[in-house]
Amino acid sequence: MTQAVLRSLRVTHRFTASAEREFDAWLDPATAGRWLFATDTGEMVHVGIDARVGGRFCFTDRRDGVDVDHVGEYLEIERPHRLVFTFAVPRYSTAHTRVSIDITPWGAGCELVLTHEEVLPEWAEATQRGWGDILGRLDESLR
């Protein structure tokens, strides 16, 4: 039996908004529900965020009548520079991965580096593309 080699993916995005605004957008339910795990064809029907180390989140996006949960637990919260959480989408995989968000000032805005660890190879391309889309939605939501 061979074991799948887990991947670590990195996505970088520069924003015109401040590091504080970018960071807060990840933890505010009203803001995050507009862009985080949202899809063009889905409807965000539930956003639950317990923004503390050890707290959990659950976003439910209804896609073609099917509810898709995105769940995790916050491991590190260091406003406005670092956020680390576990991540899973139980409908599609039993895997629990780790996502790190690092934000640094960049000009009048900031640069965000997202690292997603332990991604199964069969999900690597879709995960990379998905995070790129999500960060693009975040950028639009804060303009």
Beta bridge partners of residue 138, listed in sequence order: none
Residue 114 falls inside a structural domain: yes
| The predicted structure's pLDDT at residue 120 | 86
Name the average pLDDT for the chain: 93
Residue 2 falls inside a structural domain: no
3-class secondary structure per residue, the chain: CCCCCCEEEEEEEEECCCHHHHHHHHHCHHHHHHHCCCCCCEEEEEEEECCCCCCEEEEEEEECCEEEEEEEEEEEEECCCEEEEEEECCCCCCCCEEEEEEEEEECCEEEEEEEEEEECHHHHHHHHHHHHHHHHHHHHHCC
| The predicted structure's pLDDT at residue 3 | 53
Q: Measured between alpha carbons, how far is 136 from 125 in angstroms, rounded to an integer?
A: 17
Residue type, 30: A
Residue 1 falls inside a structural domain: no
Return the higher-pLDDT residue of 11 and 1. Answer: 11
Q: Is pLDDT above 50 for 81?
A: yes
CATH number at residue 38: 3.30.530.20
Residue 75 falls inside a structural domain: yes
Query: Once rounded to an integer, what is the mean pLDDT over residues 69-95?
Result: 96
The answer to whether 59 and 47 are in contact (CB under 8 A) is yes
Cβ atoms within 10 Å of 45's Cβ, excluding its own: 12
Residue 47 falls inside a structural domain: yes
Residue 95 falls inside a structural domain: yes
| The predicted structure's pLDDT at residue 1 | 41
Question: What would the pLDDT profile of 38-60 be if each residue is shown by its tens digit?
Answer: 888 889 999 999 999 999 999 99
- The parent domain of residue 88 ranges over 7-141
Percent of the chain with pLDDT over 90: 82
Q: For the chain, how many structural domains are there in total?
A: 1
| The predicted structure's pLDDT at residue 5 | 65
Query: Once rounded to an integer, what is the mean pLDDT over residues 11-18?
Result: 96
Question: What would the pLDDT profile of 94-141 be if each residue is shown by its tens digit?
Answer: 889 999 999 999 999 999 999 999 998 888 999 999 999 999 999 999
